[in-house]
Chains A and B, each alone.
Chain A
Amino acid sequence: MFGDYSLSDLGAIFAMQGFAGLILFSVYVLMALGLAIIFGQMGVINMAHGEFMILGAYVTWMTSSAFQQYLPSLFPGYFFIAMSLAFIASGALGMLVEWALIRHLYKRPLDTLLATWGLSLILQQAYRSVFGAREVGVELPEWMMGSKQVTDTIEVPINGIFVMGLTVLITLAVAYILVFSRWGKQVRAVVQNRVMAGAVGINTEKVDRYTFGLGCGIAGVAGSAFTMIGSTGPTAGQLYIVDTFLVVVFGGAASLVGTIASAFTISQAQSTMEFFLSGSMAKVLTLLAIVAILMMRPQGLFALKVRK
């Protein structure tokens, strides 16, 4: 399959596909970060995670339309406001859902899967009723369009670079919050030993609610970033949910480093293969490889060593 290309061509192909893979990687990381917090830390299987992401995308779309109409002079900077709004909207919905639904199901993880699936159906239909079944696209500000010529054969799109930069920032922020902040320490304490955490005076219910909200909020930001590279429809979230779960499981559920490493491996493998095989076969092979590896190493790539 390499025969028809010269060496420099191959280099360029790998570089460009590698970059396309990096954009995919960014979306995976943003999606998976939220899920890793919710699934990895809390053990809740949130099948509606994709819908939280789509909520962020729709919020971004609405903000961009509003800016276009009322504040065209500020349009170049709308994205930052849209992103914050997306975080707030998805996070708030997440906290509401946790209060109404999830907190009753902490002892039955498989049932959270079914209940959140129901939730995702409701949200999908709500999006369809409110925004219509057609996909909507966001108009990018001028400075995000176009691409940067790196060498003669390699060029990279600017919106891609932006999304990647954003991903790095958000990942660092989440890592900082979870590792160093007071609240992050509480979250980890509750995860490790709920009863003991409660005994030392942590309000575990509140921590749960905010953790779930944070995970959903990050999904909203992911959706916001998603509008930079693709259009949004009511069912777009469902396309990503399985991939995202595999990313989290493959990385080792409770490890953020693992999540990032596995998102990187999966997205690179997929986008490199996509060039040589058809898109569907690339996806099939990637997923099969993950499933095979998971069968051999069920705990994922980076598992925390815990005795049970």
Chain B
Amino acid sequence: MIINSRFFNRSELIGFLALALLLFVILPLSLDIFRLNLVAKYLTYAFVGIGLVLCWGYGGILSLGQGVFFGLGGYCMAMYLKLEASSVENTKIQSTPGIPDFMDWNQLTQLPFFWKPFHSFPITLIAIILVPGIFAFIIGAAMFKRRVGGVYFAIITQAIAAIMTILIVGQQGYTGGINGITDLRTLHGWDIRTDHAKFILYFVEVVLLFACIVAAQFIRLTKLGRILVAMREQEDRVRFSGYSVANFKIFAFCAAAIFAAIGGAMFTLEVGFMSPSFVGIVPSIEMVIYTAVGGRMSIFGAVWGSLLVNFAKTSLSESFPQLWLFGLGALFIAVVLAFPNGLSGIWQDHVQPRIDRLLAARKSKPGNGFSVADGAPAE
């Protein structure tokens, strides 16, 4: 079903290779393990960003609740890790050994039923994909079938993010409350807190990230991706042509949710805890910002956006905590007003043409006559 004969065109291939070079070679070689772990943390948002490019950039569905799916994936992973960390030997000082410590503090004497499946590693891995996927399907089916879209969808997903946070914070005994699920130690018997483990986890994450990039690129290039774009531009025409608009939207939303969940699960592994502060309205909107800064139409842009904005956030808030929010706010406004297509848009409009012209000039000098100046743009 691939319409383009090539999976990546030339400039996409260059972008892909450049990103691979940076993430696989340059960063691991040049950064110490603490900074590399930070990069890993930033990259978890890139998963969300890729999902948002599909669902927002291509599908035109702005979801302000991606934090929910990020959190669901993260919590699934955290529940498994927490159960492993609170084995009977580890928790024998509690009044009920064998259950997570926060449950014991909240006078629970039994493991709640929805925690039980997370004793098993394979079930956890399936749950990380399925739980957010099904949740997104329910939300998407309920809304898109009734043709709720645009602004209303954004507001409702935002409300869902709010509900989720309040629920997690309120149900302390079951979820760990505002502190979240902390003190995670091992993954299937393998200690995730050592530097070596963090190094390996970084590579696992980057491999997963590239898998997601390829998956997203695949979706984008098939007929499905074309329909998403068509839907964004003229929803009614697509509907009149006999396509079920709702189903395509549900698909895009579910795909974005699953990408976000993978990011969330990796986040838990990299950072070692999960808390409601990554679920609510503020983090959800920040994730949209990373995507907007990188370029809502560009998969690679989303990765770059997550990396750069988070890097700026860390370095600015370390040195000028006062300035950071001003900077972030101004960045938002600037991106929306002046560069709606973000960094990738700037690249495409200003940098790429120059490179092409340069290459064309060099090629035409030997006098072989043809020019590649109007080669395919990056996206």
Contact present for B150 and A110 (CB under 8 Å): yes
Q: Which of B146, B167, B288 contacts A296 (CB 8 A)?
A: B146
Interface 1/0 per residue, A57-80 and B, CB below 8 Å = 000000000000000000000000
Please count how many residues in chain A sit with their CB below 8 Å of the partner chain's CB atoms. Answer: 40
Q: What separation, in Å, do the CA atoms of A283 and B159 have in the docked complex?
A: 11
Inter-chain contacts of A207 with B (CB < 8 A): none
Q: What separation, in Å, do the CA atoms of A109 and B60 have in the docked complex?
A: 12
Q: Which residue of A lies closest to B160 (CB)?
A: A291
Q: What separation, in Å, do the CA atoms of A105 and B331 have in the docked complex?
A: 16
Stretch at the interface among B82-90, B107-115, B320-328: B320-328
Contact present for A115 and B337 (CB under 8 Å): yes
Interface residues of A in 76-111 (CB under 8 A from B): 101, 104-105, 108-111
Main secondary structure of the interface of A (DSSP, over half): helix
Q: Which of A101, A125, A280, A295 contacts B337 (CB 8 A)?
A: A101
Contact present for B146 and A298 (CB under 8 Å): yes
Contact present for B146 and A114 (CB under 8 Å): no
Q: Decide if B289 is an interface residue (CB 8 Å cutoff).
A: yes
Inter-chain contacts of A288 with B (CB < 8 A): 163
Q: Decide if A294 is an interface residue (CB 8 Å cutoff).
A: yes
Contact present for B331 and A295 (CB under 8 Å): no
Interface residues of B in 56-103 (CB under 8 A from A): 62, 64
Contact present for A121 and B166 (CB under 8 Å): no
Stretch at the interface among A25-33, A150-158, A165-173, A242-250: A242-250
Inter-chain contacts of A290 with B (CB < 8 A): 159
In the assembled complex, the CB of A301 is this many whole angstroms from the nearest CB of chain B, namely 14
In the assembled complex, the CB of A42 is this many whole angstroms from the nearest CB of chain B, namely 12
Contact present for A125 and B322 (CB under 8 Å): yes
Interface residues of B in 328-345 (CB under 8 A from A): 328-333, 335-337, 340
Q: What separation, in Å, do the CA atoms of A234 and B355 have in the docked complex?
A: 47
Contact present for A121 and B292 (CB under 8 Å): no
Contact present for B292 and A114 (CB under 8 Å): yes
Q: What separation, in Å, do the CA atoms of A287 and B152 have in the docked complex?
A: 15
Given contacts A122-B326, A245-B155, contact A283 B333 (CB under 8 A): no
Q: What separation, in Å, do the CA atoms of A246 and B281 have in the docked complex?
A: 14
Inter-chain contacts of A122 with B (CB < 8 A): 325-326, 329-330
Main secondary structure of the interface of B (DSSP, over half): helix
Q: Decide if B123 is an interface residue (CB 8 Å cutoff).
A: no
Inter-chain contacts of B340 with A (CB < 8 A): 108, 111
In the assembled complex, the CB of B320 is this many whole angstroms from the nearest CB of chain A, namely 11
Interface residues of A in 276-298 (CB under 8 A from B): 278, 280-281, 283-284, 287-288, 290-291, 294-296, 298
Interface 1/0 per residue, B276-313 and A, CB below 8 Å = 00000110010011001000000000000000000000
Interface residues of A in 114-143 (CB under 8 A from B): 114-115, 117-122, 124-126, 129
Q: Decide if B158 is an interface residue (CB 8 Å cutoff).
A: yes
Contact present for A249 and B152 (CB under 8 Å): yes
Q: Decide if B375 is an interface residue (CB 8 Å cutoff).
A: no
Q: Which residue of A lies closest to B325 (CB)?
A: A125
Contact present for B154 and A110 (CB under 8 Å): yes
Inter-chain contacts of B288 with A (CB < 8 A): 114
Interface residues of B in 226-243 (CB under 8 A from A): none
Inter-chain contacts of A114 with B (CB < 8 A): 285, 288-289, 292, 332, 335-336
Inter-chain contacts of A283 with B (CB < 8 A): 166
Inter-chain contacts of B159 with A (CB < 8 A): 242, 245-246, 287, 290-291
Q: What separation, in Å, do the CA atoms of A280 and B167 have in the docked complex?
A: 7
Contact present for A45 and B332 (CB under 8 Å): no
Q: Decide if A113 is an interface residue (CB 8 Å cutoff).
A: yes
Inter-chain contacts of A246 with B (CB < 8 A): 155, 159
Q: What separation, in Å, do the CA atoms of A264 and B64 have in the docked complex?
A: 26
Inter-chain contacts of B150 with A (CB < 8 A): 109-110
Given contacts A118-B333, A121-B328, contact A242 B147 (CB under 8 A): no
Q: What separation, in Å, do the CA atoms of A291 and B285 have in the docked complex?
A: 19
Q: Which residue of A lies closest to B161 (CB)?
A: A242
Q: Decide if B3 is an interface residue (CB 8 Å cutoff).
A: no
Q: What separation, in Å, do the CA atoms of A122 and B328 have in the docked complex?
A: 8
Contact present for B336 and A295 (CB under 8 Å): no
Q: Decide if B211 is an interface residue (CB 8 Å cutoff).
A: no
Q: What separation, in Å, do the CA atoms of A61 and B155 have in the docked complex?
A: 31
Q: Decide if B377 is an interface residue (CB 8 Å cutoff).
A: no
Given contacts A242-B281, A280-B167, contact A117 B325 (CB under 8 A): no
Q: Decide if B26 is an interface residue (CB 8 Å cutoff).
A: no
Q: Which residue of B lies closest to A112 (CB)?
A: B336
Inter-chain contacts of B281 with A (CB < 8 A): 238, 242
Given contacts A122-B330, A129-B322, contact A113 B163 (CB under 8 A): no
Q: Decide if B170 is an interface residue (CB 8 Å cutoff).
A: yes
In the assembled complex, the CB of B138 is this many whole angstroms from the nearest CB of chain A, namely 10
In the assembled complex, the CB of B239 is this many whole angstroms from the nearest CB of chain A, namely 14
Inter-chain contacts of A109 with B (CB < 8 A): 150-151
Q: Decide if B29 is an interface residue (CB 8 Å cutoff).
A: no
Contact present for B337 and A278 (CB under 8 Å): no
Q: Which residue of B lies closest to A121 (CB)?
A: B329
Q: What separation, in Å, do the CA atoms of A125 and B281 have in the docked complex?
A: 18
A-B contact pairs, 25 of them (CB 8 A): A45-B154, A104-B337, A108-B340, A110-B62, A110-B154, A113-B151, A114-B285, A114-B332, A115-B332, A115-B336, A118-B332, A118-B333, A121-B329, A125-B326, A238-B282, A245-B155, A246-B155, A249-B152, A281-B170, A284-B163, A284-B167, A287-B159, A294-B148, A295-B142, A298-B143
Listed from nearest, the 3 A-B pairs whose CB atoms lie closest are: A118-B332, A280-B170, A122-B329
Q: Which residues of B line the A interface, CB within 8 A? A: 62, 64, 142-143, 146-148, 150-152, 154-156, 158-160, 162-163, 166-167, 169-170, 281-282, 285, 288-289, 292, 322, 325-326, 328-333, 335-337, 340
What would 16 more interface pairs be, CB under 8 Å, given A118-B329, A298-B143? A108-B340, A113-B62, A114-B335, A115-B332, A115-B333, A118-B330, A118-B331, A121-B328, A124-B325, A126-B326, A278-B170, A280-B169, A287-B159, A287-B166, A294-B148, A295-B148
Q: Which residues of A line the B interface, CB within 8 A? A: 43, 45, 101, 104-105, 108-111, 113-115, 117-122, 124-126, 129, 238, 242, 245-246, 249, 278, 280-281, 283-284, 287-288, 290-291, 294-296, 298
